[in-house]
Structure 1
Amino acid sequence: MSRILIIEDESSIRRVLVKILGEENSQYKVFEAEDGAAGLAMVKKEDFDLVLCDIKMPKMDGIEVLEASRKEKPEIPFIMISGHGDLDTAVNAMRLGAFDYISKPPDLNRLLTTVRNALDRKVLVQENKILKKKVSRNYKMIGESPEIQQIQGIIEKVAPTDARVLITGQNGTGKELVAHWLHQKSERSAAPLIEVNCAAIPAELIESELFGHVKGAFTSAVKDRAGKFETAHKGTLFLDEVGDMSLSAQAKVLRALQENRISRVGSDKDIKVDVRVIAATNKNLKEEIAEGRFREDLYHRLAVILVEVPSLNNRRDDIPLLIDFFADKIASEQGTAPKSFSKKAVTLLKGYDWTGNIRELRNVVERLIILGDQEISEQDVKAFASK
């Protein structure tokens, strides 16, 4: 049941709102406050899913209540109640963070729709917070080696800026993880991180994927479609395996980076975009440039900051920490009790040649947890690690 607080000094208006939302609607539990000061005190003391707040009130007006409440509990949506002369103030309240406003006397359908939309929005915000926590756990950076500490230091300095970053390294080293941490620690973290695997998209479709298309641009374009640049507006676009992008698409990406504008395939209309681009590759782009497969001007646009992620073989001291992390994570995913690794098992794993890097290590740890004893022994590693 949603908890709704009504802050309104006019008792007649308050009674109408209570009747509509409380007495005639079993899904809402309604609370009342007769002035702004009393309402703010209740917001601080209790948890509410929504606040309906009058603008003109004694002791403390609605704008003051809104501003003070957002400092205390910014997640609570506010719907402002405005008289005919308060519309400019109501619009200003929305700039300050109010969800919407309704006019006096309240229209029944308008009121119920606005309340429902505000509560739905709050649920979405909560779900997004939960999702972000899950993402943070999934992309946690594990390691204490000098190589990892150096990368963490770069992320701390670069993430708050809009500088473009080129991440290099072998497959399975964690380039995607670095991209996620750059986004999560940036001022764009509230907006989406959109990922594009340039190697997985056919050359003839990559431009449509990145820039979108208009209906009729090609045979299968049955309707207008936004591309990844548009979807990532105000957020971050992660171009994974950028070295596999076609030269034609590279030219369009270069223009987008230079002008902050894109045009959909089949259209001559420019669309302004505000996107931070992070790119990653397992290729040596300077060699690709020499062979004519990658544009040098695009390379210099992307490689403002270079981050090289080391192979697992070059950070072996992190292997025990990674084993513990994967063991706990896999046990949690499978709903089983965590298994431990003996010192000899860990030592043996530290000595292997990890050509598949962290991705391979995770697979091996999962296999050992499934097939091994409660404590993974040296014998288990020799039997099941398949090295």
Structure 2
Amino acid sequence: MKVGIDQIGYFTPNKYVDMVDLAHARNQDPNKFLIGIGQKKMSVADPTQDAVSMGINATLRYIDKIDKSKVGLLIFGTESSVDQSKSGSLFVKSALGLDPTVRAFEVKEACFGLTAGLMIAQDFVRLHPDQTAIVIGSDIARYGVNTAGEVTQGAGSVSLLISSNPRLLELNEGHSAYSEDINDFWRPNYSKTAKVDGKYSTQVYLDFFKHTFSAYKEQKNLETKDFAAIVYHLPFTKMGLKANRLAVEGTDEETNARLMDSFTAAKELNANVGNIYTGSLYLSLLSLLENGRLKAGDLVGLFSYGSGAMAEFYSANVVEGYEKQLDKVGDKALLDNRSKLSVAEYEEIFSAGLEDPENNVELISDEETGRYYFAGVRNDIRQYQIK
């Protein structure tokens, strides 16, 4: 029985800041951000968008295409949790109108959260082939205004439907995992912004990639040339490019060109959305599916990384007719319809996002009709509404 990704939906808020504008405001050469970091634009979440509302909106992108009665599991991966006890998945389940019998919970391991959920969901579907699982990664990446990590911020969510006989990707059995207790990136409970050792984190990311990629190829008796594409966790696109360069070292010219071309296709959405933590790998996967030159049966490698640190490499094969399940026009419209912020406007919204919502004050959203948003706190209970 084949199990894999049947649907994929993404969402990003309706505002962004341009990296050229940000570079000028920070007295930096724009090419430092555009080429050195590899980012073009950065989505900005105002106080009416949080991990939950974005997760709902990402899942709404495909919910009308599936049989909701078959959903038996909903996993919410995030490091931007809205409650210390209640799972974000329960808010999402309610908004989507899923059955009360659906198992729903939240998982956390930095940017690895969505992959962790995917692996749980895969096992669930193998045991319950007549049921499906929704797995969501949703985050707002905050490092701080005028900090070294500012250019690697962003906001967004990716939602996956895992099923038997999937229509996008068939997941292969086996994986290569590697973890260590380190401090390259973390966010204490008392802090609204992340702490990061950027250079150290990049080196650990690359070391973990080399370890898991090599181990996976050995385990599955594969060579680099067997992959049509490799997609990476992309907190910023230059980080993935460095890993991809390691992947193609020593390969033949055709393999080198193919994997570099596929990486170019896979980074486009991330370069225009920014860092979305748990969803970053899967936003890159969506970008590859929409912009790459894939055919049925092609082998795609996936490298997932979460600081702290946990990494995993696994693979999937492209399903014939996968293109029919994509909404490339709608995905492009999400980006094109965003409003451009001045740097001053972005800074004001960022500062507002660091404040806890005031109790019993209703928030008003400027999202388009049909989008969910965080409407404020009533009697200490978070409220979500549809525009």
TM-score by length of structure 2 reads 0.22
Q: Which has the higher helix share?
A: 1
User: What is the TM-score with the length of structure 1 in the denominator?
Assistant: 0.22
Q: Which has the higher contact order (CA 8 A, sep 6+)?
A: 2
Q: Which has the larger radius of gyration?
A: 1
